Amino acid sequence: MDAVKAITDLIGAIAWPAVALTAIWLFQSQIGSLTQSLNLRVAEANKIKLKIGTVALELAREIARPPAVSRKVLGQVGSTIERFDALAKMYDEVSIEDETLRVAERKRLADELARLASTLSIRRADLAERPDEGAMVTLATLAIDNPSDDDLSLLQKVALTARFNFTRYRILLGILPSIARVPYDKNVRVRAETIIRSVEATGSVSPSLQRLIDKTRTVLSAIDEAFQ
């Protein structure tokens, strides 16, 4: 219960994505063992709260997604690498003129790709080596659903070549859990900014992607100020 109380106290002090995401993560995982990594003091949290306001809540809502294993399977039944490759190809070849419908289709495919990757135990490092955006968005989605130590370096790699706005959007969401794990680590925040710059440089930026870029930078700036 001490771990739960500590998390509750921090969320009460500030509703920003790193803390909110860490709370979700802790409740889904081993609360006791991971609470020690939440090394953020309430005083620092309050500084960040004053800076970012509702931006954090918006980002937290973006990233608080159902686990991959609970999502409905699309179309054909069967969890095989051939099925994964077929869906990755479908993701790359989505051609829908209406933006809302196009985004919805890419979202459905990305979520199913992440579910398959988890089921098939596809290595994230292998996904980062592939040139297709289906693999890239899978990596980013896994980083959101189940953060790991290597996510930032792998996302940094795929951010250099991702072109689709949806893929880049997921990549940005994927960096937030890494920030949540060690908000006090300046190197993590610097690498996050490097990823943001890559996302900006690899193609035209849609209005929704630009809003996410701005919100993420606002959070990073607030954390920087809090830990000065």
What is the value of pTM for the model shown? Answer: 0.74
Determine the Cα–Cα distance for residues 147 and 124; give it in Å rounded to an integer.
11
- 200 and 220 inside one domain: yes
49 and 162 part of one domain: no
Both 190 and 152 in a single domain? yes
pLDDT in tens, 11-22: 344 333 444 444
pLDDT score at 181: 78
Is the torsion defined by CA of 141, 31, 178, 208 positive or negative? positive
Per-residue pLDDT at 17: 42
Average pLDDT over residues 51-65: 57
Structural domain boundaries enclosing 15: 2-63
Helical (H) or strand (E) element with 142: helix 133-145
44-66 average pLDDT score: 56
Residue 1 is encoded by which pair of tokens? 């219960």
- Domain end: 45, 63, 81, which one? 63
Can you read off the two tokens belonging to residue 77?
Answer: 């039944």
Q: Is 25 in the same domain as 134?
A: no
Looking at the structure of the chain, the number of domains it has is 2
DSSP state of 62: H
Q: What pLDDT does residue 120 have?
A: 93
Same domain, 39 and 98: no
CA atoms within 13 A on the CB side of 10: 23
Pair 109, 214 in one domain = yes
Same domain for 188 and 140: yes
